[in-house]
Structure 1
Amino acid sequence: MGNSFEDPEAKYLAIINGERQYSLWPKGIPVPSGWSIAHPEDSRSSSLAYIDKHWIDMRPRTMIEAPTNAGPISRAD
């Protein structure tokens, strides 16, 4: 058995987490906690196309929604 994440003939899901980050996920492997199905079972290429179309900002949701005028973050020494 080869790598389930790279089998071009396998079926895949596009999954998304609370930070709106996407991942290609092999069908038949349980979806990890904190992730949900964004696009149902499909071919590898179709699932990747879905991710490419919908994941237009690679920053996590919390970074996108962070105030832009928050100023520098200070470190606790």
Structure 2
Amino acid sequence: MSDDSEKNIRYTVVINDEEQYSIWPAHRSAPAGWREVGVAGTKEECLDHIESVWTDMRPRSLRERMDAAAR
């Protein structure tokens, strides 16, 4: 896919139950186990949003286990 044609594709930001983020073509339903977070735009805009909000790459279940162990 060329850069020009990719710029015309709109994406949406999706998240799963482990609070891991990804992007998905906006014209398609989110895949099973994922839900839209309400942010859509170009690939770059969506990836910029993910970079700003996904500051801890650990899955939620691991974060919770580590927090519990630290108490």
Task: Count the aligned residue pairs.
Answer: 66
Q: Which contiguous aligned blocks of 4+ residues in structure 1 show a shift greater than 3 angstroms?
A: none
CA distance in 2, matches of 1:68, 1:56: 21
TM-score with structure 2 setting the length: 0.78
Give the alignment's TM-score, normalised by structure 1: 0.73
Task: Give secondary structure in 2 for the equivalent of 1:48.
Answer: helix
Matched with 2:41 is 42
Identical aligned residues as a percent? 33
User: Which ranges in structure 2 are unaligned for 5 or more consecutive residues?
Assistant: none
Q: Deviations over 1:46-70 (max 9, x none)?
A: 100110011111110000010225x
Gaps (5+ residues) in structure 1? 70-77
- How far apart, in 2, do the equivalents of 1:12 and 1:53 lie? 17
- Residue 57 of structure 1 aligns to a residue in which SS? coil
Quick check: 1:17 aligned with 2:16? Answer: yes
What is the identity, as a one-letter code, of the residue corresponding to 2:25? P
The one-letter code sitting in structure 1 at the alignment partner of 2:48 is A
Q: Is the CA contact (8 Å cut-off) linking 1:9 and 1:44 kept in structure 2?
A: no
Shift of 1:40: 2.7
Larger radius of gyration: 1
- Please, which moves more after superposition, 34-43 or 45-54? 34-43
Please give the root-mean-square deviation of Cα atoms over the aligned residues, in Å: 2.1
